[in-house]
Structure 1
Amino acid sequence: MPELRVGERCFTVPPASNLLDVLNGAGCAVPYSCRAGSCHACLVRCLDGLPDDARPESLSAAQREQGWRLACQCSVTGDLQLALFDPLQDGLPATVAGLDWFGDILRLRLRPGRALRYQAGQHLVLWCAEVARPYSLASMPADDELLEFHLDCARPGAFSDRARHLHLGAELRLGELRGGALHYDPDWQARPLWLLAAGTGLAPLWGILREALRQGHQGEIRVMHVAHTRAGHYLAEALEAMAGVKVELVLAEQLDDALAGLKLASRQTMALLCGAPSTVERFARRLFIAGVPRNQVLADVFAEHA
Structure 2
Amino acid sequence: MSLAVSPANYARRSLTAAILLLALYMAWVIIANQAFQWNVVFAWLFEPSVMQGLMVTLGLTVVAMALGTAIGLLLAICRLSANRLPSGFASLYIWFFRGTPMLVQLIFWYNLATLFPEISITIPFGPTLISWDTNTLITPLTAAIVGLALNEAAYMAEIIRAGLISVDPGQSEAAQAFGMTRERALRRIVIPQAMRSIIPPTGNQLISMIKGTSLVSVIAMNDLLYSVQAVYNRTFEIIPMLMVAVVWYLFITSILNIGQSYIEAYYARGDRRDGQRQPDFSEAELA
TM-score scaled to structure 2, two decimals? 0.21
Larger RCO (alpha carbons 8 Å, 6+ apart): 2
- Please identify which structure carries the higher helix content: 2
TM-score scaled to structure 1, two decimals? 0.20
Kindly name which structure, 1 or 2, has the bigger radius of gyration based on alpha carbons: 2
